[in-house]
Chain A
């Protein structure tokens, strides 16, 4: 009964390809997030959705497009992958309503060759 799950765990692909990472949470949370962690472990928020509505959109190339079909899912689609996109991508969720503990998925390690 995994709380926040991501697929795939590892993703190796060529430059220029389009790929998606899926995230699902079964915690009943209202808010979901995508983070990028670079090779120096720096964690940077990319997007946040609350009840399928975008509430945080950091300065992220528009090659990155989040999609939230329902509040339990927040998928990340990346077009025209570049070498610099190689990183670990974490999905997270939080209850919302001022309760801010975020629960993280196991991460997806993306390698662009």
Chain B
């Protein structure tokens, strides 16, 4: 069975400090992996995605994530948090065996707070 676990429901950092949002997945097949961000009262925006190319993926707004197959992880990082990064972050998995089934498996989200 496929699943995705975001290990922290809430993360709080100070502005200018590093951000780490953790995500582990379970998949019988090589997956595609995504991080989406949702700012308060806004829609969902793709931050970055991994699709079996380079394991270190760079996204928008200075975020990046590293696919580690041995650890079944896809943690999201940013070297220096900005106040505007405060949002809800979702880790998403799509198993590549899914064929025409375009169903994504969504994590429960991590709420990132950035303190001045």
Residues of A within 8 A of B (CB): 31, 33, 40-45, 48, 50, 55-56, 90, 92, 94, 96, 100-107
Assess whether A50 is in contact with B44, with CB atoms less than 8 Å apart: no
CB contact under 8 A between A104 and B104, given known A41-B109, A43-B90: no
- Given A55-B101, A56-B102, are A100 and B32 also a contact pair (CB < 8 Å)? yes
Judged by DSSP, the binding face of B is strand
In residues 89-113 of chain B, which contact A (Cβ within 8 Å)? 90, 94, 100-104, 106, 108-109, 111
Which size bracket describes the interface of B in this complex? 20 to 34
- Residues of chain B having any CB pair with chain A under 8 Å: 32, 34, 36, 38, 42-46, 49, 51, 88, 90, 94, 100-104, 106, 108-109, 111
Asked whether, in the complex, the Cβ of A56 is within 8 Å of the Cβ of B106, the reply is: no
Shortest 8 CB-CB contacts between residues of A and residues of B: A104-B44, A106-B43, A104-B43, A43-B106, A41-B109, A100-B94, A107-B43, A56-B103
Q: Find out whether the CB atom of B43 lies under 8 angstroms from the CB atom of A48.
A: no
The dominant DSSP class at the A interface is strand
List the B side residues contacting A44 at CB < 8 Å.
Answer: 106
